């Protein structure tokens, strides 16, 4: 007999689905995306020159200015995301330390790093400290959850709309609307 969870859903297919999802997120976020960024930044100038050479002569100056503006905006965005992750990691480290969580520094650092991944990152960063706290001392888990909620509220209500939008010179309301439109058009990937 198969073990069932919750509302009669067999545990084995659910476990396979979750394992597949976690593996996909891990491979994309930890391995492939950093490799693509590394290759882009290492050979970005060569790629840009080759693409610019394909354009007619009268469009090359405009394409170069546009490319420079895009690079500036991307640099500002990545700087803001790193700053956001440092702030979230610092809040989590402090909260985990105050709660008495074992491994607070590593777990806070992990929560900050994973916060870079949109939408799934905060969840992935919250699972290890909560599980460790539940195993060690269940009361500590309450403080860990409170810390994570405070960090995410600060992130979602202040850092993302104002700091990141300010860095990339985009209105905060426009940023929120674009996230919602992206969600409607392409789901989580569009967000």
pLDDT in tens, 7-26: 455 667 767 777 777 777 66
Provide mean pLDDT across the span 141-160: 88
Provide mean pLDDT across the span 60-83: 82
Residue in the block written with tokens 């090359």: 60
* Partners of residue 27 on adjacent β-strands: none
Provide mean pLDDT across the span 42-50: 77
Provide mean pLDDT across the span 63-75: 81
pLDDT in tens, 80-130: 888 888 999 999 999 999 999 999 999 999 999 888 877 778 888 899 999
d(CA 46, CA 138): 55
d(CA 170, CA 48): 25
Mean pLDDT (the chain) is 79
CB-based contact 115:88 (threshold 8 Å): yes
HSE-up of residue 105 (Cα within 13 Å, Cβ side): 0
**pLDDT category of residue 189 using cuts at 50, 70 and 90:** low
Determine whether 40 is exposed, middle or buried from the number of CB atoms within 10 Å of its CB (0-12, 13-18, 19+): exposed
């Amino acid at each position: 007999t198969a073990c069932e969870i919750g509302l009669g859903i067999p545990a084995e297919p659910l476990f396979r689905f979750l394992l597949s999802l976690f593996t996909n997120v891990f491979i994309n976020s930890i391995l492939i995306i950093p490799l693509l960024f590394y290759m882009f930044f290492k050979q970005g100038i060569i790629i840009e020159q080759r693409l610019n050479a394909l354009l007619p002569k009268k469009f090359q100056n405009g394409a170069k200015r546009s490319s420079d503006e895009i690079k500036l905006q991307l640099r500002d965005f990545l700087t803001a995301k790193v700053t956001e992750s440092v702030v979230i990691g610092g809040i989590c480290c402090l909260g985990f330390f105050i709660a008495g969580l074992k491994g607070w520094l590593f777990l806070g650092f992990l929560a900050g790093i994973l916060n870079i991944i949109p939408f799934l990152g905060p969840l992935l960063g919250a699972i290890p400290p909560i599980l460790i706290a539940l195993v060690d001392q269940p009361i500590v888990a309450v403080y860990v959850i409170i810390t994570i909620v405070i960090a995410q509220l600060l992130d979602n209500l202040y850092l993302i709309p104002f700091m990141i939008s300010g860095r990339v010179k985009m209105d905060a309301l426009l940023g929120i609307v674009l996230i919602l439109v992206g969600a409607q058009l392409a789901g989580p990937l569009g967000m």
